[in-house]
Amino acid sequence: MNRILKIVSCLFILLLVSPPSYSSVTTYTSTPVKKDTTASDKALKKMANKEAHKAAIMSTILPGLGQAYNKKYWKMPIIYAALAGMGYLVYHTNSLYQEYHKELVLRYKYGDSVSVYTLHNPDTKLAIYSTSDLNTQKLLYKKHFDMTVIGIGLVYVLNIIDASIDGHLKTFDVSDNLTLNIKPKAFYCAQSTYGIGMGLSFALTFK
């Protein structure tokens, strides 16, 4: 379970450190031209807020939709991989919780007599546990279940926040003479349990 949580955390670190999409138009004139920078800034801010709001609403309706609107298509598999991983943990922890809960109900109904209990449930793998241990395990998996449900909520909220941030950065202007591209990159890592490491590649281009 801890390994799955670490993988999900790594996926969202990659999601949140993605580079913004930069766009700008640089115009050179032989004579200085006065511009209403205040009005221009207000218009740009209004456009950024509009883009961010629209992307956030889309990701609220359907996770990943705002990322598609922002043309960050590579983020969509990360979001759904995180949701799928957390969904599996919810199913797994709930199944174990129900298993221990059912065992405890039968113990309380028929007493702690294993011979009586096994007549009503052929699965005897839990017979080695005492009633106290069963209750401890039940509470432990209940806690894990609650944490994974909260985790799904966090993934959903982060998906909306990420879409909103990218929406704001879509209108962020920088000079065309400098570009920075940041991309996720997988590589072989002997120290990793799975033999795979995750990192970022940076490409700085001067024109």
Please report, for the chain, the start and end positions of each structural domain, with discontinuous segments joined by +: 2-18+41-173, 177-207
Q: Give the closest residue to 63 by CA, choosing from 151, 162, 156, 148.
A: 156
Tens-digit pLDDT string for the chain (207 aa): 555 555 555 555 555 554 444 444 444 344 454 455 676 767 777 777 888 889 899 999 999 999 999 988 999 999 999 999 999 999 999 999 998 888 888 878 776 655 555 555 555 677 778 888 889 999 999 999 999 999 999 999 999 999 998 888 876 655 555 566 667 777 666 666 666 766 666 665 655
Residue that is written with structure tokens 């400098």 in the block: 178
What is the C-alpha separation between 33 and 21, in angstroms, rounded? 28
What is the C-alpha separation between 28 and 74, in angstroms, rounded? 36
With 0.75 as the threshold, say if the pTM is over it. Answer: no
What is the C-alpha separation between 32 and 190, in angstroms, rounded? 59
Q: Give the closest residue to 87 by CA, choosing from 149, 144, 141.
A: 149
Tell the burial category of 24 from Cβ atoms under 10 Å away from its Cβ (0-12, 13-18, 19+). exposed
